[in-house]
Chains A and B, each alone.
Chain A
Amino acid sequence: MTYEAVIGLEVHVQLKTATKLFCGCRNEFGAEPNSRVCPVCLGLPGALPVPNEAAVIQTILTGLMMGSSIRPRAKFDRKNYFYPDMPKNYQISQYDQPLCLGGEVSLPVLAFPKDAQKEPQALAGKKVRLVRIHLEEDVGKSFHLENCSGIDFNRAGTPLMEIVTEADLTTPEEAFALLTTIREILRYGKVSDVDMEKGQLRCDVNISVRPVGTEAFGTKREIKNLNSISAVRRALKHEIQSQIELVSSGGTVVQETLRWDDARGETIPMRTKEQAHDYRYFPDPDLLPIRTEGRLRTEAERRMPELPETKKSRLRETYGLSEYQASVLASDPPLADYFEKAARSTRNPLTLANLTLNDYLALRQDSPDPMSIPPEYFGQLADLVSDGTLNSRQGREVLAILIQAPRPPKEIAQERGLTQISDSQVLEEFCREAIAANPKSVADFKGGKAAAINSLKGFVMKKTRGQANPQRIHELLESLLREP
């Protein structure tokens, strides 16, 4: 019997707001422990929460970007359980009236892991349905030292958005693709940086298996607190395999909550005490219900960005880019914006795209702020390359100089004597010299070794210090060698 997995995700994302969800403390990572706290986020007697509108707007915006229905009335509830990193021993969350209900995320091919992009699952264009999106406060962080434990409450009360999917996923790769897509959408909306290193995306996964073709769900197990997209894929792979092995050898899956040890590649059951909770949710009497219609919703709509998939198809259609080029550009919205500005100053956006994706990205890694090149210079550079004034190596050289000190690229090229030699008469002389100096290669070529022409080309390039137009040399050499 073959089995398939049924997977649902709960994705927790830290929102990018200036202040915490219910107080005025700064929402920032890496500050001195317990330096971003106040009576409210420490749960001191008498302190009261006041909702941060920015976080509510970002959650509504996320709902809009994912096609959710924005509820006209939402409320906050208290989720009760004791834990030292939670100052009030209840978490303010949303139980039965979240801000967003439903929604859908499509999985594009390029969101799948590279090694799975040619598989049918990646090509299927699957849509994953969402159950809900809600807003809640994050908890502090415990540190276990040698003889004692410490708690840093800087993170306590920071806004956390939870996206809950239907159990629509069947493979670890789909989960990977979903998270990659969600990450891109959230970055587009400037809702979160989704920086894994900073724990800005954390994920709980529910997994069960069932024989292919059956409808009923198997018993599910949950893996909590996965903190990277690749860890989700690895954990799911491991868990699906072990459930299938268990079931096909006659065993039964027991409902359980697990932790994933990424270094050892195995799941570890969490203590039972941490599982069977009655959270005793009830509406938080300190907080009024949220009316989303009107100002909050209008503001979210105003911030609605062009979505990644829309941008990709527009880049393909407008500039004639490939699916891959469009995706890479779209994955970096500021870069895409820059590309589009530069494209206004070139006749050949495809060359511009190549310059952007091959040279610009490589150079950008070790330069301070390459975006400082005025986009029109970048566009002009693309023209110099596409009309043959510069070869691609020279193009990159000019680009490097542009990054250091922006000036019109034509000036740089002339000043450095970097213009490509395309003059046929000049080039023909170099070619004749090459043929005269390399009788062996000439003989080889004439004997049928087409590749022998490359050493002749290398000779010319060397003589011209790389300024020859390689295409022209090739043509010239061929015609000279074929001369009777």
Chain B
Amino acid sequence: MSIAFATIHELRKQLLAKEVHPKEVVESLLDRISSVDSRIKAYNYLHPERALESAEKADVSLPLGGIPIAVKDLISVRGEPCTCSSRLLEGYIAPYDATVIERLRAAGAILLGRTNMDEFAMGSSTENSAWGVTRNPWDLSRVPGGSSGGSAAAVAAQEAIAALGSDTGGSIRQPAAFCGCVGLKPTYGRVSRYGLTAFASSLDQIGPLTKTVADAGLLLEIIAGADPRDNTCEPEPAPSFSTKLGEEIRGMTLGVPKEYFVSGMDPEVEAAMQKAIAHLEGLGAILREISLPHTPYSIATYYLVATAEASANLARFDGMRYGRRAPGCNDLLETYGRTRDEGFGREVKRRILLGTYSLSSGYYDAYYLRAQKVRMRIREDFLTAFRDCQAIVTPTSPMPAFRLGERTEDPLQMYLADIFTIAVNLAGLCAISLPCGFTQAGLPIGLQIIGPMRKEETVLQVGYAYEQSTSWHTLRPPLG
């Protein structure tokens, strides 16, 4: 089997045993990319020479020594573009490393390339990219999910050993579910956001997309921990997240929110979910129905909070200091107007307008402030629920990957793809998505395990127990 198909843990063993050289790993991935990425378009750009150069001098004794990691195209890497899949950032070269990039470098990882995404992380299908859509490796007529669709597709198509994504309302977990890989959204404040282009600052977190649960734990350990450059980052150092991997989950109580099993869910997803629940019971877990009563408000709340923050976060993209400025403008207002009109895609403009509106005087109390209050209720829902259970299990998405173009004309339908993931961000919790079955048509289905704040080791423990007793994660998409 090609080296590209390996997990981080497998590769580490081979690298340490000198069975493979880091250069062979990079070459194997480049081969794989050149044979499949014309169909997938997971990457926005690659740095083969630089990757081979770092492979040459890689120190395999480091935790990620010689292991290539793909990075979503909204995280700053010194000397590289960071386009956020937006025309507006065309030509911008980041002059600094994000904290997570510094940590990857220090751990010996090789930065291979940058993955496609919905523009500024706004979307659930990776169709809102200025550089073209990414396709689902399991069915090229379908979306990979989003916004970290490029990262998920790259991992699923074996074009990457592992990748970093970012999750604001499900942007790691939902594409992981659609592509049949593992995606972990850490607790808010667990991973430094310094160098992550902000979409919604109070919701954004960087996290891993990997082939296995154990790899997700390892990658999180590298990137997590205190950072004085991010005021919202937890001040204490990150613990070892993998300590509970392999511990059995017998006797553990898992909550199943009744509000998540309502009409509208795809029947195949629901069936897979019931099987997953039965499987977890088989492993000795106690499954208990819980209630998260404010669930119906989470989408509205999310789209008020996230767009309000985004409207300010994206104000800096005006073509004045970097990026693409509309040519031939006569005055300042025209420069602002045309630069942003030509530079931003439709979904980004829609969200900036929505956010600007909800912050405007006269609407602030009714929209932004009320949304913040509901957000507190949603958080309290979870606090209450976690008194009776140690983790919560839900489907990651109510449906499997949909067809390209199917939802682009109806933003509300698109927003519903995140209905099970959004509340986790609003409450600042951690959650993982991992494969729990396939539809008749061969599309992956994702299981979401939600943990309380700072309980990544619990969701990893449950995820690992499920994964190791099933074989979904060993299946590969039919790409040849």
* A interface residues (Cβ-Cβ under 8 A, vs B): 39, 42-51, 78, 80, 82, 84, 87-90, 151, 278, 280-282, 285-288
* B interface residues (Cβ-Cβ under 8 A, vs A): 74-76, 82, 84, 89, 92, 94-96, 98, 193-198, 200-202, 228-232, 308-309, 311-312, 315-318, 320-322, 332, 336, 356, 359-361, 364, 368
Please provide the 10 A-B residue pairs with the shortest distance between their CB atoms, ordered closest to farther. Answer: A89-B315, A285-B202, A285-B201, A280-B359, A45-B197, A46-B195, A43-B316, A46-B76, A88-B316, A46-B197
Bound together, the chains give a CA A147 to CA B201 distance in angstroms of: 39
Q: Which of A50, A84, A288 contacts B320 (CB 8 A)?
A: A84
Whether A80 lies near B359 (C-beta < 8 A) is yes
Whether B318 lies near A280 (C-beta < 8 A) is no
Bound together, the chains give a CA A145 to CA B230 distance in angstroms of: 38
Whether A285 lies near B360 (C-beta < 8 A) is no
Bound together, the chains give a CA A39 to CA B198 distance in angstroms of: 14
Bound together, the chains give a CA A47 to CA B201 distance in angstroms of: 11
Q: Which of A39, A43, A84, A285 contacts B332 (CB 8 A)?
A: A84
Whether A278 lies near B230 (C-beta < 8 A) is no
Known A42-B321, A82-B336, A84-B332; judge A47-B194 contact (CB<8 A).
yes
Whether B315 lies near A48 (C-beta < 8 A) is no
Known A50-B228, A280-B356; judge A90-B315 contact (CB<8 A).
yes
Return the chain A residue nearest B317 by Cβ.
A45
Q: Which residues of A contact B75 (CB under 8 A)?
A: 46
Whether A282 lies near B368 (C-beta < 8 A) is yes
Bound together, the chains give a CA A47 to CA B95 distance in angstroms of: 11
Bound together, the chains give a CA A179 to CA B259 distance in angstroms of: 62
Whether A90 lies near B312 (C-beta < 8 A) is yes
**6 cross-chain CB contacts under 8 A:** A45-B317, A46-B98, A46-B193, A82-B315, A82-B336, A89-B318
A434 to chain B, nearest CB (A): 81
Q: Which of A46, A282, A285 contacts B359 (CB 8 A)?
A: A282
Bound together, the chains give a CA A87 to CA B360 distance in angstroms of: 21
Q: Which residues of A contact B231 (CB under 8 A)?
A: 48-51, 286-288
Q: Which residues of B contact A82 (CB under 8 A)?
A: 315, 318, 336
Known A46-B194, A288-B231; judge A39-B201 contact (CB<8 A).
no
Bound together, the chains give a CA A39 to CA B98 distance in angstroms of: 11
Bound together, the chains give a CA A82 to CA B311 distance in angstroms of: 12
Q: Which residues of A contact B318 (CB under 8 A)?
A: 82, 89
Whether B197 lies near A280 (C-beta < 8 A) is no
Whether A44 lies near B96 (C-beta < 8 A) is yes
Q: Which of B84, B196, B316, B317 has the most CB of A within 10 A?
A: B316
Q: Which of A46, A50, A51, A80 contacts B198 (CB 8 A)?
A: A46
Whether A46 lies near B312 (C-beta < 8 A) is no
Bound together, the chains give a CA A89 to CA B336 distance in angstroms of: 11
Bound together, the chains give a CA A88 to CA B316 distance in angstroms of: 4
Q: Which residues of B contact A281 (CB under 8 A)?
A: 359
B192 to chain A, nearest CB (A): 8
Whether B321 lies near A87 (C-beta < 8 A) is yes
Q: Which of B98, B308, B311, B315 has the most CB of A within 10 A?
A: B315
Return the chain B residue nearest A38 by Cβ.
B96
Q: Which residues of B contact A48 (CB under 8 A)?
A: 193-194, 229-231
Q: Which residues of B contact A42 (CB under 8 A)?
A: 321
Q: Which residues of A contact B98 (CB under 8 A)?
A: 46
Known A80-B312, A287-B231; judge A46-B82 contact (CB<8 A).
yes
Known A82-B318, A84-B320, A287-B231; judge A45-B92 contact (CB<8 A).
yes
B124 to chain A, nearest CB (A): 22
B105 to chain A, nearest CB (A): 16
Whether B198 lies near A89 (C-beta < 8 A) is no
Q: Which residues of A contact B309 (CB under 8 A)?
A: 282, 285
Bound together, the chains give a CA A46 to CA B197 distance in angstroms of: 4
Q: Which of A47, A281, A282 has the most CB of B within 10 A?
A: A282
Return the chain A residue nearest B305 by Cβ.
A285
A335 to chain B, nearest CB (A): 41
A273 to chain B, nearest CB (A): 8
Bound together, the chains give a CA A395 to CA B226 distance in angstroms of: 65
Q: Which residues of A contact B316 (CB under 8 A)?
A: 43, 45, 87-89
Q: Which residues of B contact A87 (CB under 8 A)?
A: 316, 321
Whether A39 lies near B315 (C-beta < 8 A) is no
B261 to chain A, nearest CB (A): 32
Whether B315 lies near A80 (C-beta < 8 A) is yes
Whether B95 lies near A39 (C-beta < 8 A) is yes
Q: Which of B76, B315, B359, B360 contacts A45 (CB 8 A)?
A: B76
* Extra inter-chain contacts (12) besides given A89-B316, A282-B312, CB under 8 Å: A43-B321, A47-B194, A47-B195, A48-B231, A50-B229, A50-B230, A82-B318, A280-B360, A280-B364, A281-B359, A282-B364, A285-B200
Bound together, the chains give a CA A409 to CA B309 distance in angstroms of: 70
Bound together, the chains give a CA A372 to CA B393 distance in angstroms of: 76
